[in-house]
Amino acid sequence: MTNGLTENQRQKYMEQGYLLLDNLYDPARLDPLIDELTHIIDRWAHRYYEQKRLADMFEGEPFDRRFFRIHEAMNGACSELNDAVLGKRKTAGMFHVMTLPEILDVVQSLIGPEILVHPQFNCRAKFPDRTSVVDWHQDIGFLDAAVLETFMVNFWVPLVDSNVDNGCLEVIKGSHRSDRLPFAASPEQIDDASMPEGERICCPVPVGGALLLQHTTVHRSTPNYSDHIRWSLDIRYSDWRQPTGRDEVPGYIARSDTHSDRIAASHVDWLAMFESV
Ligand SMILES: O=C(O)CCC(=O)C(=O)O
């Protein structure tokens, strides 16, 4: 559905530091990843059931509820699995979504055809427990400060419709013009005194759409008050010839006119990069 951004959209993104895109791709494009996540959660349910840690496998529950039902029934035991295991999986489904042509076309219209899928990414099951929030931050806060000059196109991609009720993101319009802002204990909390002025924009995104940010755009994730999980991905892109700010973790090349032989063909190529680290 896209061949990249229109000039109007590009200007808006550059001026405001964020852009909401509806109908970027057919929602069915997400099916390989959703099927994969469904399968992983099913496998975990069977394992915990066999280990007698779970009395009910919640087999009838839909994708946007089952993992949380398991988590609740196990007295909150799945938080770590969610953050550390599910969030960083390098799978065929993740690779598929990260390299959707509709997404890469948008990236290309902003940074050109030398595209790296940045090593910092997350798949998130944001539980409806009201406590799963991410406070005001910039994505560059999680990277080496020296990477300020690398232009990054950051995509936030919902796997279920996201809205105020289930904890969509909020951004501060124009905050991308800030430097890397100081934070106290964690990059997830910019110092109050350093918070930029600007209108706070709530960013609901339907499935099939995306929210684009820059690595200096100040944003946060609000509580999930709904009765279901707000599944999402946050994925990032930069020119592979520039530093990523995560030198110790490889990203993979998704497009290149100059080095087409180095393009990762599948998640197998992506995984192989970790064998040589
Ligand atoms: O999805 C969320 O709840 C937080 C995402 C976020 O803050 C980010 O992509 O940087």
Query: Closest Cα to atom 8, ligand 1: which residue?
Result: 234
Residue 28's CB is within 10 A of a number of other CB atoms, namely: 10
Is 162 in contact with 232 (CB distance < 8 Å)? yes
Question: Tokens in use for 2?
Answer: 């896209």
Ligand 1 center to 122 CA (angstroms)? 8
Q: What does the pLDDT read at residue 277?
A: 61
Q: Which residues are CB-neighbours of 189 under 8 A, at least 6 positions away?
A: 135, 136, 137, 183
Ligand 1 center to 93 CA (angstroms)? 20
CA distance 171 to 234: 15
Domain boundaries, the chain: 7-27+90-275
Mean pLDDT by 10 residues, the chain (277 residues): 90 98 97 96 94 95 96 86 79 98 98 98 93 91 92 98 97 95 85 91 98 97 96 98 94 98 97 85
Ligand 1 center to 257 CA (angstroms)? 31
Atom of ligand 1 nearest to the CA of 139: 10
Q: What does the pLDDT read at residue 177?
A: 96
CA distance 261 to 277: 20
Atom of ligand 1 nearest to the CA of 234: 9
Report, at the CATH architecture level, how domain 7-27+90-275 is classified.
Answer: Sandwich (2.60)
Q: What does the pLDDT read at residue 86?
A: 80
Q: How far apart are the first and last CA of the chain?
A: 37
Q: pTM score, two decimals?
A: 0.96
Q: What does the pLDDT read at residue 158?
A: 98
CA distance 88 to 94: 9
Ligand 1 center to 161 CA (angstroms)? 15
Q: What does the pLDDT read at residue 131?
A: 82
Q: What does the pLDDT read at residue 191?
A: 86
Among 82, 98, 124, the mutation site with the greatest number of ligand 1 atoms within 8 A of its Cβ is: 124
Atom of ligand 1 nearest to the CA of 156: 9
Q: CA nearest 211: which of 268, 161, 262, 143?
A: 161
Is 17 in contact with 175 (CB distance < 8 Å)? yes
